[in-house]
Amino acid sequence: MNMTQPEILAPAGDRHAFMAALAAGADAIYLGLKNFSARAEAGNFSISELAVLTELARQKNCRVHVAMNTLLKPGEDQAAGRLVERLNRYVRPAALIVQDPGMVKLVRQAGFEGEIHLSTLANAGSPRALSMIHEKLNVQRIVLPRELNIDEIRTCAKACPSGCDLEVFVHGALCYNVSGRCYWSSYLGGKSGLRGRCVQPCRRTYSQKNNTGRFFSCTDLSLDVLTKTLLEVPEVHSWKIEGRRKGPHYVYYTVSAYRLLRDNPNDPQARKTALSLLEQALGRKGSHYAFLPQRPYTPTDPQRHTASGMFVDKLKTVRGRKLNISPRVELKPGDLLRVGFEDEPGHQIVKIRKAVPKGGRLDFMAQGKRLPNAGSPVFLIDRREKELMQALDKLEREAQAIKAPKTAESTFEPKQPKPLKGTIRPLHHHVYRHLGRNRLNEGSGLWLTPKTARETKPGLAMRVWWWLPPVIWPNEEKEWQEVIERLVRGGARRFMLGAPWQIALFPKELPRLPRAVALRRGRGKRHHSQDNPRKSDQLNLWASPFCNVANQHHLLWLKDMGFSGAIASPELNKDDALALGKATPLPVGFVTTGQWPLGFTRIPLEGVKPEKPILSPKKEACWVRRYGQLNWIYPAWGLDLHTKEHELNQAGYSAFIHMHESKPREVPQATRTSTFNWDLRLL
């Protein structure tokens, strides 16, 4: 790879897409295996197949990055470690992409010799945290969140340490919620985005009173000509194209376009050709999103579809199960059409068997039980041009000449952390937004904002737990650091961190407490056993549930980092939650009651009002409230696992979290509560 230019990093969800990336001249390809991939719905690859394809890529001077970026559950460490060991032995990819700090420890235990890249799902877009992440996790690349603008990318680049580089998304699908902070699909039925199983509830049609639209469905990101600006940021070593569920046509056209834009940034004809290629790539409508801070673009348009593909026609007639269209473009054998949208009746994929001329007639049969309506739109979502297929066939012949290795099973056994012994009386921890009339005590929590920090009296500030937000953006990092330092100087020591990287915002050396403050602390009640990390003047830092802690290796890393405890991911089901409690090397807690958010977004609301009920097609209500730079999306029904607290305590949990959030008046009173995934199988 030419290190004077950023690499073009292409997606590959299957073998055809992999070959298309090579044919287009990608510098690197990222993909997933059958397990532990955050795109479980893609075709993905086996070890033996990937060994051959990776050798072919090496011959083309192309790197292969393997994504093992899912949340790691208890009991999966052996399977994950053995998979890594076999990858290292037979495939030798250039890099592994992970989101879980526990996985990083496991990867190194298994002897992986390549680079480790921290996924965007880890939400590590904090400038002050970059050096800490590189040093403590020994990662060589950090994938920045899509929400960052060019000024924030530059700020991160200036803070990027030697030996570490940055990866930036330049094209592809946008999630409405912040990556790694979306629980929408999981809360509605156990299919977690952090496990690669998202069913994309944000893409559905919602309603608010008489207003109906796809309020949360985003257009694609397309930086196109603006990538020239990234060439001025040398720390950005990789331009990433999203799309592991896309076909070879999309991969070939997008890679070709961004190669042109990178290699010919000042050539008007090259820019024109690149834009034409992107228009033909069959993706969604694109936007620059937030890249330009002076001209941000809201990537939602509630009254228009945001599905991928090129519109070709509307269904002319629906007679029984017979359907037909008259396409506006020529259709070729192997092309794929999508009828309607995934959340509408009659949705189906149609494969073209024979060529259909522009303006001709295509007859086909409806699939499934429900028929589409006459007038339903039809989109071309993938096509197989003769020239592209010839290029792929040539690469296939080269691949067939490479001998696949004979693989054997791995005998790797991960080192298990020593679990804590015994149980202690649990602390019930109530978390509030404001002081108000709430009766705060030693076990209370308060969401930290500059306002709550100013209004809280010093004595109370020392007693409560301060909860940091789930995301802190680069443009607000300095203010948060100042707020935290002011609280710490005043004697505050108890904090719940919304991301483990937020530990970089705390002072490395604690100031001595003023004598009056020290005496006041000394006269206070005796600390809870989990609330006393050896000395009362030390910081007591816990990882909040938004850190997505789900395995003992993650907990051990937190312990090594100086954390005193962690709240486990509430996504865990019963068996996984209990297993984690019994194996934990660190005190752990669990969220058992309250309003758990579906997710958080930096995207401004378009077509929908905050504090008002929003109904899904199934009449499930949610609502949105803004805090700082984030819109929080809440379901109308809360979480209630209070009857499971004894069982959790017996398994080793020593803190139970009760999250208080006032509900807007107009949001209907819930007739049910949720047990999240407790009684489900988290896939």
pLDDT confidence of residue 341: 86
Top CATH class of 310-382 equals mainly beta
Please give the average per-residue pLDDT across 510-522, as a whole number. Answer: 61
Closest CA to 31 of 22, 72, 23: 22
Q: Residue 521: its pLDDT value, please? A: 55
CB 594, CB 588: distance < 8 Å: no
- In whole angstroms, what is the distance from residue 261 CA to residue 5 CA? 12
CA geometry: angle at 413 spanning 408 and 416, to 5°?
160
Angle made by CA atoms 30, 33, 39, in degrees to the nearest 5: 70
pLDDT tens column, 254-290: 999 999 999 999 999 999 999 999 999 999 999 999 9
Q: Is 547 left (phi over 0), alpha (psi -120 to 50) or beta?
A: alpha
Residue from 39, 31, 137, 27 nearest 91 by CA: 31
Q: For the whole prediction, is pTM greater than 0.85? A: yes
Pairing of strands 115-118, 141-143: parallel
How many angstroms separate the Cα of 462 from the Cα of each of 465, 518, 542?
A: 8, 11, 16
**pLDDT value at residue 4:** 64
Query: In CATH terms, are 7-174+219-282 and 427-594+647-659 the same topology?
Result: yes
Task: Report pLDDT digits (tens) over 312-351.
Answer: 999 987 777 889 999 999 999 999 999 988 878 888 999 9
For 634-654, give one letter per residue: b (16+ CB within 10 A) or e. bbbbbbebeebbeebbebbbb
Look up residue 483 and give its DSSP letter. Answer: H
Residue extents of the structural domains in the chain = 7-174+219-282, 181-217+597-637, 310-382, 427-594+647-659
Residue 417, amino acid:
P
State the CATH class of domain 427-594+647-659: alpha beta
The Cα–Cα gap between 92 and 281 comes to 31
Alpha-carbon span 617 to 163, nearest angstrom: 49
Host H or E run for residue 599 = strand 599-601
| Structural contact between residues 290 and 602, judged by C-beta atoms closer than 8 angstroms | yes
Confidence of residue 371 (pLDDT cuts 50, 70, 90): confident
**For residue 515, pLDDT beyond 70:** no
DSSP 397: H
Distance (Å, rounded) from C-alpha 171 to C-alpha 289? 11
- CB half-sphere exposure, 567, CA atoms < 13 A: 26
For the chain, what percentages of helix, strand and coil (3-state, to nearest 5) are there?
30, 20, 50
Q: In angstroms, rounded to a whole number, what is the distance separating the alpha carbons of residues 200 and 431?
A: 29
Taking only the tens place, the pLDDT of each residue in 393-450 is 999 999 999 999 999 999 999 999 999 987 678 889 999 998 776 667 767 999 999 9
Q: Determine the average pLDDT of the residues in 207-216.
A: 94
User: Phi, psi (5° rounding) for residue 663?
Assistant: -95, 140
What is the distance between the alpha carbons of residues 332 and 443, in angstroms, rounded to a whole number?
66
- Distance between the two ends of the chain, CA-based, in angstroms? 37
Contact of 334 with 389, CB cutoff 8 Å = yes
Encoded tokens for 362: 């295509």
> Is 640 within 8 Å of 672 (Cβ atoms)?
no
Of the candidate ranges 56-70, 124-138, 222-236, the one whose mean pLDDT is the lowest: 124-138
Confidence band for 3, pLDDT divided at 50, 70 and 90: very low
Which CATH architecture does the domain made up of 7-174+219-282 adopt? Alpha-Beta Barrel (3.20)
Any residues with CB less than 8 A from the CB of 221 and at least 6 apart, and which? 146, 169, 170, 171, 172, 173, 174, 242, 286, 287, 288, 289, 299
CA atoms within 13 A on the CB side of 502: 29
Say which amino acid occupies 233.
V
Q: Nearest 5°: phi and psi at 414?
A: -70, 150
Nearest partner of 348 among 328, 323, 318, 368, judged by Cα: 368
Nearest to 255 by CA among 237, 242, 236, 269: 242
Q: Which of 13-22, 37-46, 412-421 has the lowest mean pLDDT?
A: 37-46
